[in-house]
Copies of this chain bind each other. A is one copy, B any other.
């Protein structure tokens, strides 16, 4: 058995927990799609997302609330519409990971 005494996880505990928490949010087909769409259009209303994704309004709303709770997206209301946008566009790097790793 190799010596392992110098080996340690290079990510601190709090960061690990936060990362897992946010990744869990990303780990859903609809929510990955939303990230992809918001990379293309900067901001989209719920109706626009619904038109593209073709899922029930309330289900989409639940997904969006989930993503906002975790800081992945943010909102701005304009009249009847609520625009959703990525809090940090660099989260789209996850999609590059998906496309660049055979495991996915």
- Residues of A whose CB lies within 8 Å of any CB of B are 1-2, 4, 7-11, 13, 15-24, 26-29, 32-33, 36-37, 40-41, 44-45, 47-48, 51-53, 70-72, 81, 87-88, 90-91, 93-104
Contacts and interface: CB of A to CB of B under 8 A. Distances in A.
How many copies of this chain are found per oligomer? Answer: 2
Nearest to A11: B36
A44 B3 CA distance: 11
Given A4-B51, A88-B101, A94-B97, A27 B36 contact: no
Nearest to A13: B29
Contact of A33 (B11, B23, B37, B72): B11
Given A9-B37, A52-B7, A98-B11, A103 B81 contact: no
